[in-house]
Amino acid sequence: MLEVILVGTGGTVPTKDRRLTGLLVRHDGRELLIDCGEGMQVGIKACGLTLGRIDTILLTHFHADHVAGLPGLLLSMGNEGRTEPVSIAGPEGCAHVVESLRVIAPELPFQIRYTEWKQPVVTAPFAALSVTAFAVAHRVPCYGYRIRLARPGKFDPALAEKNGVPLAAWNAIQKHGQVTLDGVTYTGEMVMGQARRGLCVTYVTDTRPLPLIAEMAKDADLFVCEGMFADPDKQARAEESGHMTFSEAATLAAAAQPRRFWLTHYSAALPDPEAHLDVARGIFAGAECGFDGKRELIRFSD
């Protein structure tokens, strides 16, 4: 199971009704945060959450509305007793940018481990999750993220017997992945059927539309995509600034066919995204407007 929470949905600057961009993904008691606009720790607490379980922070790019909240968040995590290392990943130069911001947060009770994306598409494990970072088209290097939670196949007694796995090893293999009895090692592949459909969340912001985005969001359980501008008359502005309109985001969703599709990262000049939702729904009927605090529990389907 994954829980996904939109902590903030604003782009460029916060408003009285919207915090700056941030998405939190929760699994098995741990948390992964994508982007960290200013005041992120306040937004997370407003969602009824604590800060100490954030193990990983993924940065899409280094504009202020996506990273300026890092010093405050890291300090608050330390003040809440965090001592375990925290992973921060982003485009090349990530370590330099974060360490520069840490001039005002120099002392932390935990280590920061950096990962920098140097290829257009990179997949890396973060705890039980698999994260694929993929380069998108903004004015500066920027990445979208696809987060996957794998689901193993069901235990297959016939397969276990075929592979000569003793009955005494069956429960231990299912629990631990492998077991050694009488000097022989038995693995999960010897007793588990074909892997089942897992869970997938794709998050994209600050980009022009690309076919790769639809590919990465294909059949996702949830596709969260920027809709900086709702009005089709803002097309030229979207192209100039490296952002998308509602209709462009919805066109990507129509190509990807996710199970849920949320718009986010709205311009401060867009006070009521819902008033323009029909623009997106005319292209992808399942389009929804994201809002601060919007959340979804995504469960495995049998």
If you average pLDDT over residues 125-131, what whole number do you get?
A: 92
Residue 231 a catalytic site member: no
pLDDT of residue 107: 93
* Sequence-distant (≥ 6) Cβ neighbours of residue 227 within 8 angstroms: 244, 245, 246, 249, 263, 264, 265, 266, 273, 280
Residue whose entry in the numeric block shows the structure tokens 């980009």:
207
The residue from 35, 65, 206, 292 that is catalytic is 65
Q: What is the average pLDDT score of the chain? A: 94
Residue whose entry in the numeric block shows the structure tokens 């605090």:
293
* CB atoms closer than 10 angstroms to residue 272: 11
- Per-residue model confidence as pLDDT tens digits over 139-165: 999 999 999 999 878 888 888 888 888
pLDDT over 90 at 34, yes or no? yes
CA distance 268 to 281: 22
CATH class of 2-152+195-298: alpha beta
Residue (of 241, 268, 264, 269) closest to 253 by Cα position? 264
pLDDT of residue 174: 82
Confidence of residue 177 (pLDDT cuts 50, 70, 90): confident
Least confident of 177-191, 216-230, 234-248, 251-265: 177-191
pLDDT over 90 at 37, yes or no? yes
Which residue type occupies 4?
Answer: V
Strand partners, 287: 261
pLDDT of residue 208: 98
If you average pLDDT over residues 120-147, what whole number do you get?
A: 96
Is there a contact between 53 and 29 (Cβ–Cβ < 8 Å)? Answer: yes
In the chain, where the domains are located: 2-152+195-298
Confidence of residue 168 (pLDDT cuts 50, 70, 90): confident
Q: How large is the greatest C-alpha to C-alpha distance in the chain, in angstroms?
A: 72
- Per-residue model confidence as pLDDT tens digits over 185-201: 988 888 887 888 899 99
- CA separation, residue 125 to residues 15, 100, 115, 122, 130 (Å): 35, 26, 11, 10, 5
If you average pLDDT over residues 287-302, what whole number do you get?
A: 94
Q: Which two tokens stand for residue 19?
A: 């915090």
Residue whose entry in the numeric block shows the structure tokens 């929804």:
288
CA distance 35 to 38: 10
Confidence of residue 90 (pLDDT cuts 50, 70, 90): very high
Say what the pTM is. 0.91
pLDDT over 80 at 99, yes or no? yes
Is there a contact between 37 and 22 (Cβ–Cβ < 8 Å)? Answer: yes
Backbone torsions φ then ψ of 164, nearest 5 degrees: 70, 30
Element (DSSP H or E) covering residue 4:
strand 2-8
Element (DSSP H or E) covering residue 5:
strand 2-8
SS3 (DSSP) at 138: coil
